[in-house]
Structure 1
Amino acid sequence: MDTIMELDDFKSAWQSLDRRLELDNRLKLHALHERSTHKARRALRPLAWGQIAQILFALPFIALAALLWMSHPVHLATIVAGVLVHAYGVLTITCAGVVLGQLGKVDYGKPVLDIQKQLLRARSLYIRSGMLAGLPWWFLWVPLLQVLAGLGHVDLLAKAPSLVVSGYAIGIVGLLATGWFHRWARRPERAELGRKIDDSLTGGSLRKALAQLEDLRQFERD
């Protein structure tokens, strides 16, 4: 009888210890989750500030187009250039707003895998935003010059047609070359090059945040 009671006591003590260890592991995991997500949020701050800077960068383009509309341009080429400059400003602000919106939707209270999926979505939007904001500069400098000339009621296309035409031609060639290189670098035999390009486009903030979460995910697996 005493032996049975001792075994029961030992079993009860073991179960109690097991529950304590399980609780302790949960608390440690929760604390690690909090630290990791806090570091991830902190790592993303430069990215958020970068999007705000992108919005501020785009505002002068809209203001410049507004000045052109107020001057009542009459030359068709100048009007088209104004539309391009105005559209670029609006598109750049919209892209930055979309990225900021996605960053704001990230729920750091969810499981790590869900957070990673949300940040990967932000990464995809960030890359597209950067491409939409950067690639037009292959030719955007031409309509920008046209708008500046248009503010003085000068049709740059009529005054310097070679500059305008060659500028747009160079821009088109540049965009086509960039598109070709993008596809070339992502062929299976150049997967490593494509990954490096993606990493360079992603930015350090997102890479650091994703690395923090990946470390936490590996710990949870172990």
Structure 2
Amino acid sequence: MDIAMEPDDIKSAWQALDRRLQLDNELRLRDLRGRELDRARSSLRPLFWGQVAQILFAIPFILLAALLWMSHPQHASTIAAGVLVHAYGVLTVIAAGVVLGQIGGIDYSAPVMDIQKKLLHARTLYIRSGMVAGLPWWFLWIAILQVLAGFGDVDLMQKAPSLLWIGYGIGIAGLLASWWFHRWARRPERAEFGRRMDDSLTGGSLRRALAQVEELQRFERD
């Protein structure tokens, strides 16, 4: 015999089904969040080790400058070169340390939007860190030559001024060319090229982490 369901019974059944579906969606979202954020965290490991490598790369410059101070250089140009080499090493270590602090401070239990903001800030810091480590080389090689000559109490500014002035000229030209290319690549008519260049500067680790967080964000919105 058919048993007719009362309206209240039908309403209760629909509410129970709705609660089950809502719970199922929450569990699926929680599972997806855990997997995507674990993947994002794993994607940042190469970036972490890259910044550690940058610190290790910078330490010899600090030691080189320290050895120069221990030799008590007498020439002003050699001392200035030593200051530049020392400053490069210290700033390169600091820049890498700032990036490490940023990615290490990401709270993966925070809202996805907050995680995304942290990653975007890490990307900005990473690009700046690369600039600190790379751009000074237009001039740094000259300073290193001066420091090495200073160990033998040789002042390159007096012994080979043309070498230094040519080197400075190359450095100035290189920096200007870098600045011009940066501006050229970001003109509106070359927006796609500029985007690809930014992606190349960002690094694969951060790009993958950001893509995974953005995917999770799209799923939450849907």
Regarding TM over 0.5, the answer is yes
Cα deviation, 1:112-157, whole Å, max 9, x if unaligned, reads 2211111000000100110111011111100001101111111122
- Partner of 2:217 in structure 1? 217
C-alpha distance in 1 between matches for 2:100 and 2:112: 20
**Aligned with 1:30: secondary structure?**
helix
- Partner of 1:68 in structure 2? 68
- Paired AA for residue 179 in structure 1: W
Once the two structures are aligned, what percentage of the paired residues are identical? Answer: 72
1:6, distance to aligned residue in structure 2 (A): 2.0
**Aligned with 1:139: secondary structure?**
helix
The 5 Å alignment of 1:76-95 reads: 76-95=76-95
Matched pairs, number: 220
C-alpha distance in 2 between matches for 1:217 and 1:205: 18
The 5 Å alignment of 1:129-144 reads: 129-144=129-144
C-alpha distance in 2 between matches for 1:175 and 1:131: 11
- Partner of 1:34 in structure 2? 34
- Partner of 2:14 in structure 1? 14
- Partner of 1:157 in structure 2? 157
C-alpha distance in 1 between matches for 2:139 and 2:192: 30
Deviating more after overlay: 146-155 vs 53-62? 146-155
> Is 1:122 equivalent to 2:122 in the alignment?
yes
**Structure 1 consecutive aligned stretches of length 4 or more whose deviation exceeds 2 Å:** none
Q: Which runs of 5+ in 2 are unaligned?
A: none
Deviating more after overlay: 7-16 vs 57-66? 7-16
**TM-score scaled by length of structure 2:** 0.96
C-alpha distance in 1 between matches for 2:13 and 2:118: 43
Q: Which runs of 5+ in 1 are unaligned?
A: none
C-alpha distance in 1 between matches for 2:60 and 2:100: 20
C-alpha distance in 2 between matches for 1:123 and 1:170: 30
> What RMSD, in angstroms, separates the aligned Cα atoms of the two structures?
1.1
**Aligned with 1:108: secondary structure?**
coil
C-alpha distance in 2 between matches for 1:193 and 1:111: 32
Deviating more after overlay: 89-98 vs 153-162? 153-162
1:169, distance to aligned residue in structure 2 (A): 1.1
**Aligned with 1:128: secondary structure?**
helix
C-alpha distance in 2 between matches for 1:164 and 1:208: 43
- Paired AA for residue 20 in structure 1: R
